[in-house]
A and B are shown apart, each in its own frame.
Chain A
Amino acid sequence: MSASQGSTNTNTEPWGSFEDNNIIQGSGSAVIDMENMDDTSGSSFEDMGEMHQRMKEEEEVTAEAAAIHPDGVVHFDQLMGKVFLKLLIYLVSTQVWQAGKQQASKAFNLYANIDILRPYFDVEPNQVRNRLIESLIPVRMINFPQKVAGELYGPMMLVFTMVAILLHGMKTSGTVIREGTLMGTAIGTCFGYWLGVSSFIYFLAYLCNAQITMLQMLSLLGYGLFGHCMVLFITYNVHFHSLFYILWLVIGGLSTLRMVAVLISRTVGQTPRLFLCGTLAALHMLFLLYLHFAYHKMVEGILDTLEGPNIPPIQRVARDVPVVASAVVNATIKSIAAVVQSQ
């Protein structure tokens, strides 16, 4: 059943033999049809690779045909074998590509999924409003653990609000930041405080066996920044130091007391309570103090002095900082002692 030679049409079989000239020169054969197959994989790199591959295959096929049968006679079954082999290779490579793509997209959906954070943002506006107001009201019951909402919308919005207020304060005080930008400093300060102090207090809570999770700590400290925002908003615009001290004690103290009460209700033992709550109270109150004084005109003088020797001496108003510091420490310890004794 060998194919006929050259272009002579012997037509030995009743159904018409395969004609070589149709196969080699023809335009409707199976080899060329494959090139018009619709590929919907969607990747341009793959398409380019495939086009290149197909062109190479075409060359190989014709080269093999020319090499094996220099007289132009090609066995159809050998050609079909090669065609099937190439088809198989193509199908396998497509499947490997598809499988790899699916794996990659599954991994991406698993790890880069923002739905992980979705339950922490599931709040209503009136819930946020209530929690904001409650953050200034210390609760008296410290005998059993108080409920802390694990939510991140309120804290995040409060941190961003504090960034905005800080920017305003820095601008109106004329602070010059030489190594860095105003915005970067504000964002770094606020987020650094929220995340850093939360982690630190969580670590201390772990040491003191307090029953609080990281999410709850983040939420608690975030809502505690509401008092800070209010104080800073008022005092960056109304520059009376006595007003600041009063607000610092009252509003700062209330939000600190709320956080301290929640932590006390979740800790057992006098010493751990004192340690944990003392640290938190100190950090929280001192942060507000720092934010107020850091962006006053006197800081600009300090920055200038640190920079170079040719700056004229700074004009500073002398402050009794040791008196202030001892007043802070006394007030904090008294409040903690009062809370501990009232349990």
Chain B
Amino acid sequence: MAEVEESSKPLFAGLSDISISEDIPVEGDISVPVGSQNPDDDFSTLDEPVKDTILRDLRAVGQKFVHVLYPKKSSALLKDWDLWGPLLLCVTLALMLQGGSADSGEDGRPQFAEVFVIIWFGSVIITLNSKLLGGTISFFQSLCVLGYCILPLTVAMIVCRIVLLGALSSVSFVVRLIVVTASFSWSTFASTAFLADSQPANRKALVVYPVFLFYFVIGWMILTFSPSP
């Protein structure tokens, strides 16, 4: 019978021979993973106390403050960007710059919302500008750098406030002018140290100018701040 099959169907001749003979062992291990396997479980931060989380974030923010105050060519601000520091600085600055209502007879001091909006929309526009000019930095990294570099201006605001506790004279104005100018140029220099690396070499000036303008406007708001009587 096998020969008849072989002669009538030459194409399928060899197939009838194919079978799994019992002396070929088919064995192996099929292990079913039981339980979760993600490595994230080791670094899950959901179970730690809130104090640890806050302290860790504060330490990261503080470390970035140090990087801004001594701007070296480091990538700490760029690699782990966070927006806590800029938020803290922005709120502090806006609170200190807040003016009374216009009916109190003061010349219009900026309101909280005005300062907040200026800082954040200014940062967004500068970021868009640097991206359009061909920058390699990402959106939030740029926001992070610009926000952290407001730190010298916040320090200048505190100093101005202290100076204004004394008499409102031309000496105090000169002192405030020097402090604000120094801190504004420090801010610009610090942010360009981080931002300019991500631009093509011949366009650095095009990116630096809006940053200069941005910190100039903030510095001008600080300088023209006068306390309520």
Contacts and interface: CB of A to CB of B under 8 A. Distances in A.
A33 interface: yes
A293 interface: no
Chain B interface size, under 10 / 10 to 19 / 20 to 34 / 35 or more: 20 to 34
A33 B132 contact: no
Interface stretch (A61-69, A141-149, A170-178, A316-324): A170-178
A119 B202 CA distance: 17
Contacts of A168: 220
A125 B200 CA distance: 12
A97 interface: no
A80 B206 CA distance: 67
Interface stretch (B86-94, B141-149, B157-165, B210-218): B210-218
Contact of A114 (B107, B128, B224): B128
Interface residues of A, number: 33
Contacts of B133: 121, 153
Contact of A36 (B33, B110, B216, B220): B33
A215 interface: no
Interface in A134-173: 153, 156-157, 160-161, 164, 167-168, 171
A316 B224 CA distance: 26
Contacts of A178: 102
B34 interface: yes
Contacts of A118: 132, 134
Contact of B118 (A114, A117, A120, A183): A183
A289 to B, nearest CB: 24
A167 B109 CA distance: 12
Given A28-B32, A121-B129, A171-B224, A128 B206 contact: yes
A226 to B, nearest CB: 14
A181 interface: yes
A171 B129 contact: no
Dominant secondary structure at the B interface: helix
Contact of B217 (A27, A125, A164, A176): A164
B132 A114 contact: yes
Contacts of A27: 34
A164 B133 CA distance: 22
Contact of B210 (A33, A160, A167, A181): A160
Interface in B108-159: 108, 110-111, 114, 117-118, 125, 128-129, 131-134
A123 interface: yes
Contacts of A161: 213
B32 A36 contact: yes
A177 B102 contact: yes
B205 interface: yes
Given A125-B202, A164-B220, A183-B110, A36 B213 contact: no
B132 A117 contact: yes
Nearest to A170: B108
Interface in B186-229: 202-203, 205-206, 209-210, 213, 216-217, 220, 224
A183 B117 CA distance: 10
B220 A125 contact: no
A177 B108 contact: yes
5 contacts: A118-B132, A128-B206, A160-B210, A164-B217, A174-B107
Given A123-B206, A124-B206, A183-B117, 16 more contacts: A36-B33, A117-B132, A118-B132, A128-B206, A153-B206, A161-B213, A164-B217, A167-B217, A168-B220, A171-B107, A176-B107, A177-B102, A181-B110, A181-B111, A182-B114, A183-B114
Q: Which 9 A-B pairs have the closest CB atoms?
A: A121-B132, A125-B205, A181-B114, A174-B107, A182-B108, A178-B102, A183-B114, A171-B224, A164-B217
